């Protein structure tokens, strides 16, 4: 049960699956803000101010359905609104291509399939799952040249490996839980001939990432703990090397972003879960250096069965 409602509250992460015929819905709202980008140079690291700050609000819905006892399918749909505090700031005007224009768009649509290979409930030392990922960012593609974008506008194919373990903390319903996710995305490029001083390359490059979460719950109703997320684009260049007037200029960047955060979960007596989290940039390359993200959400458990009961 501990693993089940942790899985409900952290849609898309961890190895756990809901069970055959079980449908869970997560509805979330996320706000993030940053003022500066960090980029390497020959003389060290450079901080680039942008638009006196860029803010984004993203609403998202995720539905997870148990196809089989150890197999789930998941779909996530986000919608983002992003703006610069001053879209006429000098740095925005210098970048051109409406770099800081306000953007409203559906973000990257994502579908996942995940299968549980080893299950701790069945006696394995941990739960382990393998999954496949398909992402479609075409609806956000017209805005990909902006700093207020919602993605590079590509179609991505990838895979995921997820591991996790939960333990009871006695007779009061308490537990602790940890999970680690690793993923790889092959990104079908927008262009294979992005112009550079030393030739051309495909843009954007492939992507790898990892996320770690740990939760502690003394009695099983409230859980809290740290989280870390890391992403890295395997190929690209720095800001000083991009072709500024090319719409794929941001996709051409070699990027790294590591964020650290805290998450808290509150469960009701129907196993619905309220989630709140706070994230802050810990390390970045060609990415926001001071990004703060606050998110809240609600995960509704077994929505199809509840509807049938109502009927």
Q: Are 9 and 28 in contact (CB under 8 A)?
A: no
pLDDT of 305 reads: 74
8 A C-beta contact, residue 17 and residue 129: yes
Strand partners, 160: 131, 183
The C-alpha atoms of residue 76 and residue 177 are separated, in whole angstroms, by: 24
Residue 11 has pLDDT above 70, yes or no: no
For the segment 4-29, the average pLDDT, to the nearest whole number, is: 79
Average pLDDT over the chain reads 89
CB neighbours of residue 24 within 10 Å: 28
Map residue 36 onto helix, strand or coil.
strand
Q: What is the pLDDT of residues 21-79, one digit of tens each?
A: 989 999 999 999 999 999 887 777 788 888 889 999 999 999 999 999 999 999 999 99
**Percent of the residues in the chain that have a pLDDT greater than 70, as a whole number:** 92
Tens of pLDDT, residue by residue over 185-200, are 999 999 988 887 556 7
pLDDT tens-digit readout, 90-102: 888 988 999 999 9
Q: Does domain 2-310 have CATH number 2.40.160.40?
A: yes
pLDDT reading at 112 higher than 80: yes
Contact 236, 286 (CB under 8 A): yes
Contact 148, 102 (CB under 8 A): yes
The predicted model gives 5-21 an average pLDDT of: 74
Share of the chain above pLDDT 90, in %: 61
Residue 113 — pLDDT band, cuts 50, 70, 90? Answer: very high
Check: CB of residue 173 under 8 Å from CB of residue 199: no
Name the region of 290 (left: φ>0; alpha: ψ -120 to 50; beta: rest).
alpha
Residues 87-92, mean pLDDT to the nearest whole number: 87
Task: Write the DSSP string, 106-161.
Answer: E--EEEEEEEEEE-GGGT-SSEEEEEEEEEE-GGGGGGTTSTT-S----EEEEEEE
Q: Where are the domains of the chain?
A: 2-310
Q: Check pLDDT > 90 for residue 169.
A: no
Provide the whole-model pTM. Answer: 0.90
pLDDT single digits (tens) 208-240: 999 999 988 887 788 899 999 999 999 988 888
Whole-number Å distance between alpha carbons of 53 and 43: 25
């Amino acid at each position: 049960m501990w693993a089940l409602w942790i899985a409900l509250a952290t849609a898309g992460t961890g190895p756990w699956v809901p069970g055959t015929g079980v449908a869970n819905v997560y509805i979330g709202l996320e706000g993030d803000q940053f003022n500066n980008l960090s980029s390497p140079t020959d003389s060290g690291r450079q901080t680039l101010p942008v638009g006196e700050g860029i803010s984004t609000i993203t609403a998202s819905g995720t539905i997870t359905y148990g196809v089989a006892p150890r197999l789930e399918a998941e779909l996530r749909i986000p919608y983002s609104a992003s703006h610069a505090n001053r879209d006429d700031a000098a740095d925005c005007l210098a970048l051109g291509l409406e770099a800081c224009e306000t953007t409203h768009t559906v973000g990257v649509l994502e579908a996942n399939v995940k299968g549980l290979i080893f299950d701790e409930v069945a006696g394995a030392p941990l739960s382990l799952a393998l999954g496949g990922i398909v992402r479609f960012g075409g609806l956000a593609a017209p805005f990909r040249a902006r700093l207020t974008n919602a993605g590079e506008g590509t179609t991505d194919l990838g895979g995921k490996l997820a591991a996790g373990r939960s333990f009871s903390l006695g007779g009061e319903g308490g537990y602790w839980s940890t999970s680690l996710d690793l993923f790889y995305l092959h990104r079908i490029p927008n262009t294979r001939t992005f112009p550079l001083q030393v030739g051309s390359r495909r843009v954007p490059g492939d992507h790898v990432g990892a996320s770690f979460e740990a939760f502690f719950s003394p009695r099983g109703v409230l859980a809290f703990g740290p989280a870390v997320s890391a992403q890295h684009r395997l190929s690209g260049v720095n800001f000083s090397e991009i072709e500024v007037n090319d719409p794929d200029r941001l996709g051409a960047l070699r990027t790294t972003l590591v964020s650290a955060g805290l998450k808290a979960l509150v469960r009701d007596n129907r196993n619905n879960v309220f989630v709140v989290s706070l994230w802050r940039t810990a390390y970045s390359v060609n990415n926001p250096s001071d990004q703060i993200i606050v998110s809240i959400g609600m995960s509704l458990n077994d929505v199809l069965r509840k509807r049938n009961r109502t009927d």
